[in-house]
Structure 1
Amino acid sequence: MKSFEKLLSENKAWAREKKAHDPEFFAQLAKTQKPEFLWIGCSDSRVPAEIIVNAQPGEMFIHRNIANQMISTDFNCLSVLQYAVTVLKVKHIIVCGHYGCGGIKAALGRQSSQLVLTNKWLMHIKDVYRLNRAEIDALPTEEARVNRLVELNIQEQVQTLAHTSIIQQAWHEENRPTLHGWVYGLDDGLLKPLVTLYPDTEIDPIFKYDYHEADMALPAMKFVSSRR
Structure 2
Amino acid sequence: MTSYEKLLLENKAWAKEVEQEDPTFFKRLSALQTPEFLWIGCSDSRVPADKITGTQPGEIFVHRNIANMVVHTDVNLLSVLDYAVNHLKVRHVIVCGHYGCGGVKAAMGNQDFKPVLNMWLRNIKDVYHVHKTELDAIANEDDKTDRLVELNVKEQVSHLAQTSIIQRAWKNDNRPYLHGWVYGLKDGLIKPVMEVQPGAEIDPLYRYDDL
Q: TM-score, normalised by structure 1?
A: 0.91
Query: For 1:117-156, what aligned pairs fall within 5 Å after superposition?
Result: 117-156=116-155
Aligned to 2:69: 69
Residue 102 in structure 1 maps to residue 102 in structure 2: yes
CA deviation vs aligned residue, 1:163-208 (integer Å, no higher than 9, x gap): 0000000000000000000000000000000000000311111110
Residue 12 in structure 1 maps to residue 30 in structure 2: no
Give the match's secondary structure for 1:206: helix
In 1, Cα distance between equivalents of 2:199 and 2:132? 31
Aligned to 1:219: none
Give the match's secondary structure for 1:148: helix
Aligned to 2:114: 115
Gaps of 5+ in 2: none
Residue 115 of structure 1, CA deviation: 2.8
- RMSD of the alignment, in Å? 0.8
In 2, Cα distance between equivalents of 1:132 and 1:154? 13
In 1, Cα distance between equivalents of 2:9 and 2:96? 31
Aligned to 2:82: 82
Give the match's secondary structure for 1:94: strand
Query: For 1:1-228, what aligned pairs fall within 5 Å after superposition?
Result: 1-112=1-112, 114-211=113-210, 214=211
In 1, Cα distance between equivalents of 2:132 and 2:199? 31
Partner AA of 1:147 in structure 2:
D
Give the match's secondary structure for 2:109: coil
Q: TM-score, normalised by structure 2?
A: 0.98
What is the percentage of aligned positions where both structures have the same residue? 61
In 1, Cα distance between equivalents of 2:130 and 2:22? 52
In 2, Cα distance between equivalents of 1:8 and 1:200? 45
Which segments of structure 1 move beyond 2 Å, counting only runs of 4 or more?
A: none
In 2, Cα distance between equivalents of 1:18 and 1:204? 48
In 2, Cα distance between equivalents of 1:174 and 1:50? 27
In 1, Cα distance between equivalents of 2:6 and 2:29? 25
In 1, Cα distance between equivalents of 2:25 and 2:125? 45
Give the number of aligned pairs. Answer: 211
CA deviation vs aligned residue, 1:92-111 (integer Å, no higher than 9, x gap): 00000000100000000114
In 2, Cα distance between equivalents of 1:115 and 1:28? 45
In 2, Cα distance between equivalents of 1:47 and 1:199? 27
In 2, Cα distance between equivalents of 1:115 and 1:58? 37
Give the match's secondary structure for 1:90: coil
In 2, Cα distance between equivalents of 1:111 and 1:60? 35
